[in-house]
Amino acid sequence: MNNEFKGRVAVVTGAAQGIGLAIACELRARGARVLLVDRNASGLARVTQTLDNKDHSAMRAFVADLADPDAIEELASQISKAESRIDVLVNNAGIEIDLPFEKVDVEIFNQVIAVNLRAPLLMTQALSQLFPSSGGAIINISSIHANHAFPNAIPYACSKAGLLALTRNLALELAPRNIRVNAICPGYIDTPMWEEWLRSASDPAALAEETEKLHPLGRRGLPRDVAMAVAYLAGPQAPWITGTSLVVDGGLTVRAHP
């Protein structure tokens, strides 16, 4: 693995498992010093104990519930004391609550929006001040839900569609500071969130097989599929890419009749 991120500092939210953990590992493998953020303290402890046994300076963990604006403010204070600069911010933390639209109340809607949409804005406001004058990269993890309708997914879909709008507007406003802002829209990815949804199905094995067949490339995605896309958009190969979204879904959404 190359060292394209050597000397750079990356913050990854939702990093205790799944896509966030894969992103943290990918950036670390490419030379970055990575700050992991998650509300799951025990999960973060397991991750750092497992991954950080050789180089304790390469990875640090911060516990924060990003649904709480005060927690984000405190997190930014802790990070600014630990690091003199931030080069990459990956807003990955997210939650999904599946319900028919008539059962979506204000509390549920606000809960999803708070984590999936408001937190990336507040994290960007808080941490963009730590980016150097040379700039950097912000990657927001959206979803194919942003552009494609799925049943029982209104809060999640609205939050992810809003995240694309946030990405475009932040790209415009942060361009004078050479901070590039892009989004990634994953499809079905084998994560703990996916496994939980699969277990709730009446026939998990049949659903797993069905979702594999939906993809022209013949499989669901892996967390590292998303992580490698993040490394590309955050890295030196994408210096003139900003304000856009990259779909990482194995061809799922190009089918006319899935």
Is pLDDT of 202 > 60? yes
125-139 pLDDT, tens digit per residue, is 999 999 999 999 999
179-193 pLDDT, tens digit per residue, is 999 999 999 999 877
Q: Mean pLDDT over residues 4-15, rounded?
A: 97
pLDDT of residue 56: 55
pLDDT of residue 55: 59
CB 248 within 8 A of CB 185: yes
Structural domains of the chain, count: 2
Task: Return the active site residues.
Answer: 156
Secondary element (H or E) of residue 37: strand 33-38
Report yes or no on 4 lying in a domain: no
Q: Are residues 204 and 234 in the same domain?
A: no
Q: Are residues 154 and 216 in the same domain?
A: no
CB 139 within 8 A of CB 233: yes
Report yes or no on 165 lying in a domain: yes
Q: Over the chain, what is the mean pLDDT? A: 93
Percent of the chain with pLDDT over 90: 83
Report yes or no on 256 lying in a domain: no
Q: Are residues 99 and 197 in the same domain?
A: no
> How many C-beta atoms lie closer than 10 Å to residue 202's C-beta?
6
> How many C-beta atoms lie closer than 10 Å to residue 89's C-beta?
29
- Rounded to two decimals, the pTM is 0.94
Q: Are residues 82 and 202 in the same domain?
A: no
Secondary element (H or E) of residue 139: strand 136-141
What CATH number should be reported for the domain holding residue 68?
3.40.50.720
Q: Are residues 109 and 204 in the same domain?
A: no
Q: Are residues 89 and 134 in the same domain?
A: yes
CB 131 within 8 A of CB 86: yes
pLDDT of residue 173: 98
Q: Which domain holds residue 140?
A: 9-186+222-247
Q: Mean pLDDT over residues 168-185, rounded?
A: 98
pLDDT of residue 48: 86
Report yes or no on 2 lying in a domain: no
